[in-house]
């Protein structure tokens, strides 16, 4: 029986180069191929080979709030990762419905695409 798995998550972006730099550093991913001036798509792959690809597609689209889909990034050092991601260009998103004891922090990438940093030690 044939099985499927998530091979790549595709994110629409306006600034391909900037988003590639952010997400490659954020996830410790590397581009499968360096993008060229004529290329409007890049596949980022995990350096260690574990996990799905993140593909960036340079197609303008409106950021939807709340997003219909977002990434949850898991870590056992949430405070350090949030600080690192903000230094890379992410911003913290404050949401009035977030419980005070939530195990996640909501961030947005440089173009406003939201994602969560989840504390796996809880």
The percent of the chain in helix, strand and coil, each rounded to the nearest 5, is: 20, 30, 50
Q: Which of 42, 61, 80 is the last residue of a domain?
A: 61
Residue 77, C-beta contacts closer than 8 angstroms, at least 6 positions apart:
none
Length, in residues, of the chain: 122
- pLDDT tens digits along 6-27: 999 999 999 999 999 999 999 9
CATH of the domain at 35: 3.30.720.120
Q: What value does the mean pLDDT take over residues 111-120? A: 97
What's the domain range around 23? Answer: 1-61
What integer pLDDT is reported at residue 107 of this predicted model? 98
What is the pTM assigned to this prediction? 0.92
Let me know whether 57 and 69 are in one domain: no
Let me know whether 90 and 108 are in one domain: yes
């Amino acid at each position: 029986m044939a099985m499927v798995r998530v091979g790549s998550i595709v994110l629409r972006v306006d600034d391909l180069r900037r988003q590639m730099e952010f997400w490659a550093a954020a996830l410790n991913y590397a581009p499968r191929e360096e993008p060229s001036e004529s290329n409007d798509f890049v596949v980022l792959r995990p350096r260690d080979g574990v996990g799905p690809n993140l593909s960036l597609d340079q197609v303008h689209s409106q950021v939807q709030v709340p997003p219909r889909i977002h990434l949850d990034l898991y870590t056992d050092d949430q405070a350090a990762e949030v600080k690192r991601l903000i230094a890379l260009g992410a911003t913290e998103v404050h949401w009035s419905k977030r419980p005070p004891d939530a195990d996640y922090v909501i961030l947005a990438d440089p173009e406003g695409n939201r994602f969560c940093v989840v504390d796996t030690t809880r």
